[in-house]
Structure 1
Amino acid sequence: MTVRSADPLTQAGAISHLRQTPGLELVESPHRPGRGRVAVVLTHRLDDMTIVELRRLTREPGQRVVLVADRLREPELMAVLECGVRTIMWRSDATPSRLAQAVRAAAQGESHLPQDLLGQLMTHVGRSRRAAANALSPAVPAAGLAPREIEVLKLLADGMDTREIAAKLSYSERTIKNTISGLMNRLQLRHRAHAVAYAVREGYI
């Protein structure tokens, strides 16, 4: 295991704590990179130099990285994950025992992210999937309702019939009928009331 930090005091403190942990072999020399199965990287903020170091470390065969940071914004989180880092700890949570536990887990190939970073990651994945779906078919989402369909369903929910909706939206009655029929077939809805109920349940109206 190696410990790396741009702050000598931070590095010395982490080394002091980890050296006292049974079962962990510490390699301190900066001239022997990659000798440990786990590299602990401590940083106050993520900068370009840290990203370069993370990328270099994760490219070494068998090497795993535990990143200890003050905070990471979403773009920084994505950059860290793209480097191949799979274990991240907040500095405020990095007690000696927790840090040692994270090192052991990383050595066994396990991953760990704080709960708030997991939330950021899920939000990012969801946004990326929606963007991909819209790029493939911007007018009709792969699952769900298109803008025109939502407009029609809102007016159906207000009690309007096909003719009134057509007049309100400046479409032909045939267009409105086709819009309703299309969404009902795509989503396997039985009738117009079912379509309105679906839209309400899914939060469209």
Structure 2
Amino acid sequence: MDNPLSVSVLALDPVLDAGAKSSLYGSPEITMVLPHEPAKVAVVVADRVDGQVLELVRTTRSAAYGPEVVLVATELAPDEARRAIALGARGLLRRREASADRLVRTVTTAADGDCTLPTDLLGLLLADPLGLPGEPSGRFGPAAPRAWAGPGLTAREAAVLRLVAEGRETSEIAEELCYSVRTVTAVVRDITQRYRLRNRAHAVAYAMRGGLL
């Protein structure tokens, strides 16, 4: 990374704020900025993902400079993950899993427009993407779709998208699935074009919300 990535930390608890900052300060890839300053990524740290935290995710993502949002929480249930993703979160981590290295990787992945989730949580969401009623329109945004009316994903597309959601690089996905890098790139491009999505992160979020996987 040629220039350090600007990152801010937003926490309602000063202890959580200090812990997240200490994990990020040592990375040469990152430069810390104040919460009110423009940042490429904002890390929201919380104990529980309640309405106040979800509102913080929403308002942070919709700020004028539009930072990507990484949410780190002590507890993170599937329904909370769905809501956070619907509001624009691009990375989700549980605090017990947020080592300095993993937090930095999640932040840099979010900055690249990709989405990272804990593997076990991703599995639960993919197994039951429509387990909850759609969110009502209002302060937390429009309702999530109950189902997608268009064609589903092929087995190859689903496999690639699962690894994208884990934050894997294109080369890593190609190696694990025994595909060429060109094939993986083409698969992701086909998904985003078919569903008119903005990028890989949007594809992951849309698939989980719409039951495509």
- What is the TM-score of this pair, normalised by structure 1? 0.57
Residue of structure 2 in register with 1:161 after alignment: none
How far apart in 1 are the matches of 2:147 and 2:28?
48
Q: How does 1:136-151 map to 2 (within 5 A)?
A: none
After superposition, the Cα gap between the structure-2 partners of 1:99 and 1:127, relative to the gap in structure 1 and judged at 3 Å, is closer
Residue of structure 2 in register with 1:73 after alignment: 77
Cα deviation 1:1-24 (Å, max 9, x = unaligned) = 100111101211221231221021
How far apart in 1 are the matches of 2:131 and 2:100?
36
Q: How does 1:3-82 map to 2 (within 5 A)?
A: 3-28=9-34, 30=35, 32-33=36-37, 35-60=38-63, 61-82=65-86
Cα deviation 1:132-187 (Å, max 9, x = unaligned) = 69xx9xxxxxxxxxxxxxxxxxxxxxxxxxxxxxxxxxxxxxxxxxxxxxxxxxxx
Structure 1 regions of 5+ residues with no counterpart?
A: 137-205
Q: Secondary structure at the match of 2:70?
A: strand
Greater relative contact order: 1 or 2 (C-alpha under 8 angstroms, separation 6 or more)?
2
- What number of residue pairs does the alignment pair up? 129
How far apart in 1 are the matches of 2:10 and 2:60?
11
How far apart in 2 are the matches of 1:13 and 1:78?
25
**Offset at residue 127 of structure 1 (A):** 5.6
Q: How does 1:80-95 map to 2 (within 5 A)?
A: 80-95=84-99
- Share of identical aligned residues, percent? 34
Q: Secondary structure at the match of 2:106?
A: helix
What code does the residue aligned with 1:63 have? P
> For the Cα contact (< 8 Å) 2:91–2:106, is it kept in 1?
yes
Q: Secondary structure at the match of 2:129?
A: helix
How far apart in 2 are the matches of 1:46 and 1:94?
16
**Offset at residue 109 of structure 1 (A):** 1.0
Residue of structure 2 in register with 1:118 after alignment: 122
Larger Rg: 1
CA RMSD of aligned residues (A): 2.3
Which structure dedicates a bigger proportion of its chain to helix? 1
**Offset at residue 123 of structure 1 (A):** 2.5
Residue of structure 1 in register with 2:180 after alignment: none
Q: Secondary structure at the match of 2:126?
A: helix
What code does the residue aligned with 1:52 have? E
Cα deviation 1:28-60 (Å, max 9, x = unaligned) = 3x4x25x11000111111111101100111123
How far apart in 1 are the matches of 2:147 and 2:8?
40
Structure 2 regions of 5+ residues with no counterpart?
A: 1-6, 133-145, 150-213
After superposition, the Cα gap between the structure-2 partners of 1:75 and 1:17, relative to the gap in structure 1 and judged at 3 Å, is closer
